[in-house]
Structure 1
Amino acid sequence: MKKARISLAAEFKTAKIDPRIYGSFIEHLGRAVYGGIYEPTHPLADEEGFRKDVIDEVKKLNVPIVRYPGGNFVSGYNWEDGVGPVDERPARLELAWGVIEPNLFGTNEFVSWCKKADTSCMMAVNLGLRGAEDAKNLVEYCNHPSGTKYSDLRIKHGYKEPHNIKLWCLGNEMDGDWQIGHKTAREYGRAASEAAKVMKWVDPDIELVLSGSSNLNMKTFGDWELETLDLAYDKVDYVSLHQYYDNRPGDTDSFLAKNIAMDEFIKTVICICDTVKGKKHSKKQINLSFDEWNVWYHSNGDYIEKWCTAPHQLEDYYNFEDALLVGLMLMTILKHADRVKVACLAQLVNVIAPIMTENGGRVFEQTIFYPFMHISNNARGSVLLSKLECDSHETKEFGAVPDMDCVAVINDSEDEIVLFAVNRSRTEDYTLDVTLLDREGFKAAEHTEMAGFAATDGNNFNTCPVKPCAAAVPETDGKKTEIHIKPFSWNVIKLKK
């Protein structure tokens, strides 16, 4: 058995964690809305048509924000189509995904669903086919108390109290030529700046996310951020990052190192933000919203019939190696908690999601559900500076990669430290020595693991074998703890006073 060591100091906190990094995403795409969170004919639907079994699953994930309504969808969406009496709402051709949008579910329904799911809305505005005026009107509709055209319209629609949505996205992936209303960096920077200006005039307390590059492989990546931030820096609060990873080559070793690429992506965008800050001699810091991230590739070749409603679209069935990478990606976000203040696992239900449903039937938890649930529920507090020592293995894509990755979080009362650890090695057991340099009295209280699975093992509606289980609690002397970390495994270790 190999040995690894991680050294921690409770006094050395790298960042206070913003719980919004445990956000997710619901887009009008596939069965995310219709047949996902909203299915009035389902036996477990409530009086508003929301599936209560899905709400229960979302609550397990402890998701503080959910981005809505897109995604590519938002760039062609008229928000007015989705409010008011349902029988008066128009069905529309939805060009982003080639389907018909019935508009049975819209802004007010989503805010109501958020309340029932113990979460809040992160609203995106259409800067594709629309612009500043429509964005301003939506903020007025959602957040202004009363006495104006759009706030009174909300009241007329049955929502007397304002929704008070505080986090808004200025469009989506406007650098992509697939996007409805695609723009150059200058065009988008000006449009975002003007929209941001009037949105904050309506409600000065909102925060705004500038749309960054669609992914780090875009030819304009870097230049896009530099130019759009230069135009909108003083009016926005965050810049977005989007990135998905895949294992199309079937190279597990390289796949489980892709969070290293994610780490470099985050560092690069931080450098760009700070370059613009320096250029402007600004005291304001722009932070990051990593509001689309996940594994995505299993469903990309699926055929979808044109102009249907709520098809089975982008319904990835995840396996165990996907769960390990999702855990690694969220650990990477934690390591940058000083600058990443918002993040959204894309998506939440059915569409590349941790929760899967049957129309009229069952629900099950995908493999990726568990690492997300573990971190979201247990990594609340501050990230600790740590030093990990372990062996490495060679990968085709990234060269030498550490066998293990770890991150540690201490809670606000400083009586519990939670360590998250992934063993990438498919063959090597490790004894992990956890040394707390400046505190005594912390003892191992719990060890949860996902181990013993093949890379391609997964869950489905009939059987869910890939789940966490309790592992043996290691012995400790109050300062040093030795933990058995199995090969190819996900681990959560709690140390308590």
Structure 2
Amino acid sequence: MPSAHVTVDPHFSIGAIRRRLFGGFVEHLGRHIYDGIYEPGHPSADADGFRTDVIELVKELGVSMIRYPGGNFVSGFRWEDSVGPVEDRARRLDLAWHSTETNEVGLHEFSSWLEKVGSDLMMAVNLGTRGTLEAIDLLEYSNIPSGTTLSQRRIDNGREEPFDVKVWCLGNEMDGPWQLGHRNAEDYGKVAARTAKGLRQLDPSIELVVCGSSSAHMPTFGEWERVVLNHTYDDVDMISCHAYYEEREGDLDSFLASAVDMDKFIETVVATADHVKAVKGSDKQIDISFDEWNVWYIERYHGVDKIEGIDNWPVAPRILEDVYSVADAVVFGNLMISLLKHADRVASASLAQLVNVIAPIMTEPGGPAWRQTTFYPFSLTSRLARGDALQLKLDAPTYRTKQYGEVPLVDAVATHDPADGASAVFLVNRSTSESIDVTVDISALGDVALQESHTLTDSDVYAKNTLDEPTRVAPQPNDTARISENALTVTLPPVSWTALALG
């Protein structure tokens, strides 16, 4: 049996883990809002029409901040449609997803839902078909307590206190030709800088995220970041990264190594941002908002789900409803390891998305809600990863992949909370055929005991949780995990994700 060795030492901190790393993303897309979080006729619906079974699952997931209302949706969005009496709101055609948006759930309703699930709001403004003035108007409506026409309009619409939104995204994926109002880097950088300056004149306390590349595989990647930051460096706090992964052409070995690509993506954007910092002679550091990430079978969407036709604009269609396997969940958990490994520069991250649409939570109209396989790595990591992310010494055997070359069979990260001494180790085994014995040197942690062990695996790597079998896959205690003589030992099954809590 192959073996690996890991050394954990709390003195080697990567950086403090910011709770915003465990953020989510809700877009007006498919059944995410309607029949997802909001279904007034459902047996579990509360007085506001929100499904309480979904609320409880989102709370269990441990989502800290939620990006809203898009995504591609935001580039055609008129924020004024989402406020005021529901019966007076406009029905609009959403060109991004070829659907009809009823605006039944808008800013006020969504903010109410956020209070129920205990998450903060990250707001995206439309810099595709709209611009600086509309963004400033939305900020005034949201954050000014009173005394202006727009703040009074919010009060008249039933919200006395400001929404007090602290983080704002300056558009979405503006490098993408599919985006309404797509611009080149020069043009986008200029409008983003103007908008950022205007927003800060109104509320200097906010944090701003400028659009980076929608993928590390875009032809403009790298140069886009350099040009955009050259315009906006002094006016923003973060630059966005977006990445989705899927198994292609049956290449499971490469798919299981997807986090290698995420690592490189983050490190390249950091290097580009620091280059601009050096050129400008600035003391300011730009961090990363990885505000869209997930496993998403995009090729399947284009081949099957995509809606077309001038007379075909459905409300809340069933699209992008990927059903996730054990292999998907292992990759997903590995992506969370990558985010933690870059905690010094990834200040915020948003899982895209939360309910029904490429989501860890699924619902059936009038029926149950259930956890997908990807639910578990997120909920456990969000709960257990506290304090600082630690730089590990990892020795592991490697394997060759078609896409990424030679890659370690084991990936890992550890966390440690100086406040209470709690630690956690997260590991993946990328081997499709062999278990791996891992020895973790924990002598630097002092006298600790194993508090929890969780391993997500299955003899069928494509096993899934479905409406008919909602609990087919779930993490199980790993009975091989034990501590002896300052060493934690554990056996990782093939294609598995493991979380170990120490204290």
Aligned to 2:493: 486
Give unpaired runs (5+ residues) of structure 2.
none
| Cα deviation, residue 425, structure 1 | 0.9
User: Contact 1:93 / 1:100 at 8 angstroms: preserved in 2?
Assistant: yes
| Cα deviation, residue 48, structure 1 | 0.9
Q: Kindly indicate whether residue 227 of structure 2 is the aligned counterpart of residue 227 of structure 1.
A: yes
Q: Tell me the distance in 2 between the aligned counterparts of 1:228 and 1:203.
A: 22
| Cα deviation, residue 385, structure 1 | 1.5
Q: Tell me the distance in 1 between the aligned counterparts of 2:480 and 2:246.
A: 34
Q: Tell me the distance in 2 between the aligned counterparts of 1:51 and 1:8.
A: 42
Q: Tell me the distance in 1 between the aligned counterparts of 2:9 and 2:46.
A: 48
Aligned to 1:71: 71
Aligned to 1:95: 95
TM-score under structure 1 length normalisation: 0.98
Q: Tell me the distance in 1 between the aligned counterparts of 2:480 and 2:494.
A: 17
Aligned to 1:352: 358
Q: Kindly indicate whether residue 334 of structure 2 is the aligned counterpart of residue 328 of structure 1.
A: yes
Relative to 1, partners in 2 of residues 1:281 and 1:446: Cα closer, same or farther, differing over 3 Å?
Answer: same
Q: Which deviations, in whole Å up to 9, do the C-alpha atoms of 1:417-463 show, x marking residues without a partner?
A: 10011111122222211112434212223211112332211110121
User: Contact 2:326 / 2:457 at 8 angstroms: preserved in 1?
Assistant: no
Q: 2:476 aligns with which of 441, 452, 469?
A: 469
Q: Tell me the distance in 2 between the aligned counterparts of 1:89 and 1:363.
A: 29
1:382-421 → structure 2 map (5 Å cutoff) = 382-421=388-427
1:123-138 → structure 2 map (5 Å cutoff) = 123-138=123-138
One-letter identity of the residue aligned with 1:374? L
Q: 1:445 aligns with which of 443, 451, 463?
A: 451
1:33-432 → structure 2 map (5 Å cutoff) = 33-297=33-297, 299-300=300-301, 301-303=303-305, 304=307, 306-432=312-438
Q: Tell me the distance in 1 between the aligned counterparts of 2:58 and 2:485.
A: 36
User: Contact 1:213 / 1:240 at 8 angstroms: preserved in 2?
Assistant: yes
One-letter identity of the residue aligned with 1:69? P
User: Contact 1:142 / 1:154 at 8 angstroms: preserved in 2?
Assistant: yes
Q: Describe the SS at the equivalent of 1:348.
A: coil
Q: Describe the SS at the equivalent of 2:304.
A: coil
User: Contact 1:319 / 1:458 at 8 angstroms: preserved in 2?
Assistant: yes
User: What fraction of aligned residue pairs are identical, expressed as a percent?
Assistant: 47
Q: Which deviations, in whole Å up to 9, do the C-alpha atoms of 1:162-187 show, x marking residues without a partner?
A: 01010110000111111111111111
Q: Tell me the distance in 1 between the aligned counterparts of 2:27 and 2:370.
A: 20
**What is the total number of aligned residue pairs between the two structures?**
496
Deviates more, 1:487-496 or 1:237-246: 487-496
Q: Tell me the distance in 1 between the aligned counterparts of 2:491 and 2:119.
A: 36
One-letter identity of the residue aligned with 1:15? G
Q: Tell me the distance in 1 between the aligned counterparts of 2:94 and 2:482.
A: 58
Deviates more, 1:295-304 or 1:334-343: 295-304
Q: Tell me the distance in 1 between the aligned counterparts of 2:480 and 2:203.
A: 51
| Cα deviation, residue 397, structure 1 | 1.5
User: Contact 1:238 / 1:286 at 8 angstroms: preserved in 2?
Assistant: yes
User: Contact 1:441 / 1:478 at 8 angstroms: preserved in 2?
Assistant: no
Aligned to 2:14: 14
One-letter identity of the residue aligned with 1:32? H
Q: Tell me the distance in 2 between the aligned counterparts of 1:468 and 1:344.
A: 23
Deviates more, 1:99-108 or 1:389-398: 389-398
| Cα deviation, residue 473, structure 1 | 5.9
Q: Describe the SS at the equivalent of 2:392.
A: strand
| Cα deviation, residue 220, structure 1 | 1.1
Q: Describe the SS at the equivalent of 2:465.
A: coil
| Cα deviation, residue 117, structure 1 | 0.6
Q: Which deviations, in whole Å up to 9, do the C-alpha atoms of 1:103-134 show, x marking residues without a partner?
A: 11111111111010110111000001111100
User: Contact 1:302 / 1:313 at 8 angstroms: preserved in 2?
Assistant: no
| Cα deviation, residue 378, structure 1 | 0.7
One-letter identity of the residue aligned with 1:466? V
Q: Describe the SS at the equivalent of 1:241.
A: strand
One-letter identity of the residue aligned with 1:223? E
Q: Which deviations, in whole Å up to 9, do the C-alpha atoms of 1:204-226 show, x marking residues without a partner?
A: 11100001111111111111111
Q: Tell me the distance in 1 between the aligned counterparts of 2:327 and 2:480.
A: 25
One-letter identity of the residue aligned with 1:469? Q
Q: Tell me the distance in 1 between the aligned counterparts of 2:227 and 2:406.
A: 36
Q: Describe the SS at the equivalent of 1:421.
A: strand
Deviates more, 1:487-496 or 1:108-117: 487-496
Instruction: Show structure 1 runs of 4+ deviating over 6 A.
Output: none
Relative to 1, partners in 2 of residues 1:439 and 1:55: Cα closer, same or farther, differing over 3 Å?
Answer: closer
User: Contact 2:100 / 2:313 at 8 angstroms: preserved in 1?
Assistant: yes
| Cα deviation, residue 412, structure 1 | 3.6
Q: Tell me the distance in 1 between the aligned counterparts of 2:116 and 2:474.
A: 26
